[in-house]
Amino acid sequence: MADEEYEEVLSDKQKIEIAKWFLTNSPPGEIQYVAKDVRSVLMNEALYNTACVEAFPVLITTFGELNKNEYLDPRTAQVAIVDHVKQVCTEVRHATDEELPSPYIEEFRCALDAEIVKYVGEAYPKGICSVYCTNGKDVEEPGFDFEFVMLISAARHSPQNFCNGSWRSIWKIEFKDDLQIIELRGTLQVGAHYFEEGNVQLDANHECKDSTMLQSPEDCAVSIANIIRHHETEYLASLETSYLNLPDTTFKDLRRKLPVTRTLFPWHNTLQISLNRDITKEIGTGK
């Protein structure tokens, strides 16, 4: 008896989840290209719009999210109203007093924001950053704990050269008044995509932690910025070292010892290979 052929039909919910996965895992600078392909595959505008509304907000930090399409910019005390599908800001309004931190908290937040802006300007020429109060924004005097989250995002998009790269760091900063200490926990993320005559992607993550003494807002800001600068510079240096070792490790593991051509790969001369050279250049986002 011949095997019966059947076609598994995906539900709308499954299609949306698959579409969201492709959108949220798009290489840096390429989400619009992925979205175009997803749209043509789905062939259903309603499903496409649903997937985009749920997936595109990852491009805007949830730490500033007031509701599904309003985001606080603490530096300007304004709220941006965003159309996630079109990826545009449709309107801007002034933030209310309830949406902003107290003057006491804002003094610490503003000082840190100013120091981080200096650092990002030096280390990530095309980078952006922001500092949000995520806990204790109504604290009005010493004696209470509060918490900030500091974000840095930078990208280098060069599709004409078939390569894109991105950097994102998220720092959770806890001010513990009873211990007179500030604890920092950082998550550093690097993405790179090289697609000239091939498809090579890098997704690297690194976590770190540190601490410093609780002082005046200005002194706290300088100490925190120095800690962040140290850890991020150290991580970028380690990535560059790893790339220099790629020819002798990862690349060798991806290729058979004796390929079909019966010609051994010239590992002794790998620095001339554009893939290794160009990706090493692109990953230097912090340079």
237: burial class by Cβ within 10 Å (0-12, 13-18, 19+)?
exposed
Q: Tell me the pLDDT tens digit for each residue of 245-281.
A: 666 666 566 555 555 565 655 555 555 455 555 555 5
Q: Tell me the pLDDT tens digit for each residue of 110-159.
A: 999 999 999 999 998 788 899 999 999 999 999 999 999 999 998 887 77
Q: Is residue 74 within 8 Å of 94, Cβ to Cβ?
A: no
Q: Per-residue pLDDT averaged across 223-233, rounded?
A: 96
273 CB contacts (<8 Å, ≥6 apart)?
Answer: 247
Q: Are residues 139 and 206 in the same domain?
A: yes
Count of domains forming the chain: 3
What's the whole-model pTM score? 0.69
Judged against a pLDDT cut of 90, whether residue 11 lies above it is answered with no
- Sheet with 128-135, side-by-side order of all strands: 128-135, 146-158, 163-176, 181-194, 200-213
When pLDDT is cut at 50, 70 and 90, the band that residue 59 belongs to is: very low
Q: Are residues 123 and 227 in the same domain?
A: yes
Query: Which residue range is the domain that position 105 belongs to?
Result: 101-235
Q: Are residues 106 and 191 in the same domain?
A: yes
When pLDDT is cut at 50, 70 and 90, the band that residue 192 belongs to is: confident
Q: Is residue 3 part of a domain?
A: no
> What CATH number does residue 53 fall under?
3.30.1140.60
Q: Is residue 223 part of a domain?
A: yes
